[in-house]
Amino acid sequence: MDNSEQNIHKQENQGYARIEPYTQPAGGWGALLSVARNLKRQDVLKKGSITLLNINQPTGFDCPGCAWPEKKDTHAFNFCENGAKAVAFEATSKTVTPEFFAKHTVSWLSEQSDFY
């Protein structure tokens, strides 16, 4: 363990975020599983999957979660995991009704988590 890693491990005991070495690919099956879970959570597994295939494509739209430049030689999975999550949230079939806003004030809502 080098000196910088020792400092990180010392900080862990002080309540800082834990940082660990990661040798796996940034994408891959784990990222794909995470994307599928987010699409399922938003009840848009089929619709969201189709929408994802249009991200960063010549006839599609730019990824809302990253700044990848468009290329002439595109491929089907030309988006990041955060972009896929953003698409899942935008494509969700979950909505609130006017009754929800009649029942809850804006000040009360501002005190809730972003994932309320």
Tell me if 113 is assigned to some domain.
yes
pTM over cut 0.75: no
Tell me if 35 is assigned to some domain.
no
- In sequence order, the β-bridge partners of residue 61 are 55
Q: Which domain holds residue 116?
A: 42-116
Taking each helix axis as running N to C, give the angle between helix 45-52 and helix 29-41, from 0 to 180 degrees, rounded to the nearest 10. Answer: 130
Tell me if 98 is assigned to some domain.
yes
Closest CA to 57 of 83, 34, 35, 36: 83
Residues 6+ apart with CB under 8 A from 31: 81
For the chain, how far is it from start to end, CA to CA, in angstroms?
A: 41
Domain count, the chain: 1
Structure tokens at 100: 């929800």
Q: Is the pLDDT of residue 103 over 90?
A: yes
Tell me if 52 is assigned to some domain.
yes
Tell me if 23 is assigned to some domain.
no
Averaging pLDDT over each range in 23-27, 38-42, 57-61, 107-111, which range is the top one? Answer: 107-111
**Residue labelled with tokens 């000040």:** 107
The arithmetic mean of pLDDT across residues 97-112, rounded, is 93
Tell me if 101 is assigned to some domain.
yes
Structure confidence at residue 67 (pLDDT): 64
Distance separating alpha carbons of residues 48 and 45, to the nearest angstrom: 5
